[in-house]
Amino acid sequence: MSGHSKWSSIKHKKGAADAKRGKLFSKLAKEISLAARGGGGDLETNARLRQAVMAARSANMPNDNVERAIKKGTGGLEGSQLVELSYEAYGPGGVAFFITCLSDNRNRTVASVRSLFTRHNINQAGGGAVSRLFQRKARFVVEGPSADEDKVLELLLDGGADVDSVEASEGTVEILAPPDQFDTIGGLLDKAGLHPTQAAINFMPLTTVQVTDPVVARAVVRFLDAAEDDDDVQNVYSNFEMSDEMMAMLAKE
């Protein structure tokens, strides 16, 4: 599991606060609305919407919120028009960040992201400078008693899924696969009663940057947390790696 994924899982386990959950639901609702606006509200014919709804269900987002977001996207309810924006940047230690945003006010979002970069000494990069370091992958996380690496792998292979990796760590199984396998794997997990706590198509790093300096590590995760806390930021992807001991130390701060 990549460093960014490990840090996200640590925060996921800690992040039961209502404020954090509300912010997550808001981001999920934006993605659902945009997907519905672009491809309609039918889950059977709109792959992006299926993915967005599965991600929402993995986060235990209430069905009423999901339905409301779909209706906003299809015009059944009033709502602001969203635009997609992305930013590429380098931070301390040469760590790369690829940031995606969904916004109803482009100027506000541009100013907000630039302010984040300035406060955290992040250098914005040109288009393609960072995104070329990542590839899109279907990613699922299964936690708890069902997180058995061998059983999950057997389930997926027997079901005909094309899987890149199945990796277990501390009661968690992470599944990575080509993006076009998202529906197949999601269906197999659902049929087997394995409900992932995370399910999305993410940008995963092709290569990683090892962070060993505590000062650099602290700066990286502080920026990561601040960016993900921004209302207009939808996702933050990074290519850092750091030891479990380092992450445990930072998680206590």
User: What integer is the mean pLDDT of 88-93?
Assistant: 96
Sole residue written with tokens 């300035």: 118
Q: What percent of the chain has pLDDT over 70?
A: 92
Between the two ends of the chain, the Cα-to-Cα distance in Å is 22
Coil vs helix vs strand at 125? strand
Domain that holds residue 20: 3-74
Task: Examine the domain organization and report whether 201 and 137 are in the same domain.
Answer: yes
Question: Which of 74, 101, 122 is the endpoint of a domain?
Answer: 74
pTM for the model: 0.86
Type of residue numbered 35: A
Q: Do 124 and 140 fall within a single domain?
A: no
Write the CATH number for 159.
3.30.70.980
For 133, phi and psi rounded to 5 degrees?
-85, 0
Domain co-membership, 153 together with 177: yes
- 95 touches 217 (CB < 8 A): no
**Could you please report the per-residue DSSP string of 43-65?**
TTT-HHHHHHHHHHHHTT--HHH
pLDDT at 12: 55
Total of domains in the chain: 3
Q: Give the CATH number for residue 53.
A: 1.10.10.200
> How far is it, in rounded angstroms, from Cα 167 to Cα 49?
27
pLDDT at 16: 47
8 and 50 both lie in a single domain: yes
Mean pLDDT score across all residues of the chain = 90
Last residue of a domain, one of 45, 74, 103: 74
Q: Clarify whether residues 96 and 119 are in a common domain.
A: yes
Strands 209-210 and 240-241 turn out to be: parallel
State pLDDT tens for residues 191-235: 999 989 889 999 999 999 999 999 999 999 999 989 999 999 999
Q: What is the pLDDT of residues 158-171, one digit of tens each?
A: 999 999 999 988 78
Degrees (nearest 5) of the Cα angle 139, 145, 148? 55
**Which token pair is 21?**
């959950």
79 in a structural domain: no
Span 60-85, pLDDT tens digits: 899 999 999 999 999 877 767 889 99
Q: pLDDT at residue 18 above 80?
A: no
246: tokens are: 């380092």
23 or 133, higher pLDDT: 133
Whether residue 218 sits in one domain with residue 101: yes
